[in-house]
Amino acid sequence: MKRCGRCILPETVPGISFDAEGVCNFCRSYRKEEYYPVEELESLIASTKARKEKYDCIVPLSGGRDSTYVLYWAKAVKDLKVLAVNYNNEFRVDQAIVNMSRACGKLGVDFVSIRSARDIVSKCVKYSILSAVEFGQYGLCNACEYGYKSTVYRSAEKYHVPLILWGESQFEKTADMGINTQSERYRLKKFLKLTNMNYFIFEYLLFLQRCEFPVQNNSIYKKGNPVLLSKDTTEIRLFDYLPWDRQKIKDIIIKELGWEKPADSVSTWRTDCDIHSLGNYISYKLIGCTKDCLGYCKMINGGQISREDALRQEEEAINNIEHNIETLLRDKIGLSSKTVDEIISYTKN
């Protein structure tokens, strides 16, 4: 299988093309990451401390690599009074739970974890899969995205917290690459969801989630992720100001906080949620590479990982792509044996 000579994207990725040197169009269109002035961040930190609230900031914490580093930076580097907020999405990895407990204990940070009383996320994942028109067109992260944002916004309102520090980096944003796995046939048939009762169950569950975790000035009748509309709280992504350095982040949290990646994970990236492995599995079945592979394209171009290391991790992930998938689908998501068998046996035409 042909791969880009600069990154590792394979020829099976929708919309990919190669120039005479074997470099893909995604590498050719890559633009170096830009950052906001660090002076703006320092000014924001100073004004936050001046508020003298019980907590200076909230760090949404998953137990993964980047959110753990943001927690370290906020407490150990900037001496902020931090509240760590975790949304228990019902698919948390055991090692991530250990990492959160260990980091908060070492740093002396208050920690709250919030979970739906109705187990909304796992039910949403189940009915999203059952309502799909075609393989892979699942809204796996819809409920979780609403849940983790709403619990953070609600916590900021409850404790009058002036600042939220998110841990997403520009290297992890792959939606802007324009890779669409939805087939033309799917787009034409999308309306068929309206004939599937599972689709209406899915939408009803999302509505129940909005009722359970309403956000200030957001309507429970409006679909989609909540928006922070409070004038008393500012939210930023730390890595919009500070350069994201993969190796530095790993070294610090491992040394200072005893952070560990799960034993069965080939990378330190996105190791906090079981659903990520399902996303990688579906991506591989549809486009011949994992979801992580899309991120490796940006990381290689940004000098964050070598092509050799990225390829090694991608090949190892593919070799173990079915690891625990059947157990996840059957036991954690609750799909029938027939549906599980259909997903496992899927082969793209």
Contact between residue 131 and residue 196 where contact means Cβ atoms under 8 Å apart: yes
Q: What is the pLDDT of residues 159-173, one digit of tens each?
A: 999 999 999 998 878
Q: What is the pTM of this model?
A: 0.94
Choices 3.40.50.620, 3.30.930.10, 1.20.1260.60, 1.10.760.10: CATH for 36-266: 3.40.50.620
Contact between residue 143 and residue 201 where contact means Cβ atoms under 8 Å apart: no
Q: Cβ–Cβ contacts within 10 Å for residue 145, how many?
A: 17
Flag the least confident range among 36-40, 139-143, 155-159, 251-255.
Answer: 139-143
Single-letter code of the amino acid located at 297: C
Mean pLDDT of 24-29: 96
Alpha carbon 187 to its chain centroid, in Å, reads: 25
CA angle 330–333–337, rounded 5-degree value: 25
143 phi, psi to nearest 5 deg: -70, -40
CA distances from 64 to 39, 58, 184 (A): 27, 16, 36
Q: What is the pLDDT of residues 133-158, one digit of tens each?
A: 788 888 889 889 999 999 999 999 99
CA distances from 43 to 35, 39, 49, 77, 119 (A): 16, 6, 10, 15, 40
Q: What's 5's DSSP letter?
A: S
Contact between residue 100 and residue 259 where contact means Cβ atoms under 8 Å apart: no
pLDDT exceeds 80 at position 191: no
pLDDT exceeds 80 at position 190: no
> Which residues have C-beta within 8 Å of that of residue 289, sequence separation ≥ 6?
8, 9, 10, 12, 13, 283, 314, 318
Return mean pLDDT, the chain: 94
Mean pLDDT of 257-280: 93
Mean pLDDT of 310-335: 96
Q: What is the pLDDT of residue 84?
A: 98
The rounded distance, in Å, linking the Cα atoms of 48 and 55 is 9
Contact between residue 267 and residue 320 where contact means Cβ atoms under 8 Å apart: no
CA angle 342–346–348, rounded 5-degree value: 150
Mean pLDDT of 209-215: 98
Most confident of 85-94, 129-138, 184-193: 85-94
- Considering only the C-alpha atoms of the chain, give the largest distance between any 2 of them, rounded to a whole number of Å: 61
331 phi, psi to nearest 5 deg: -90, -40
Q: In 3D, which of 150, 164, 145 has the Cα closest to residue 273?
A: 145
Q: Report residue 208 as tokens.
A: 């129940």
Q: Report residue 44 as tokens.
A: 């924001």
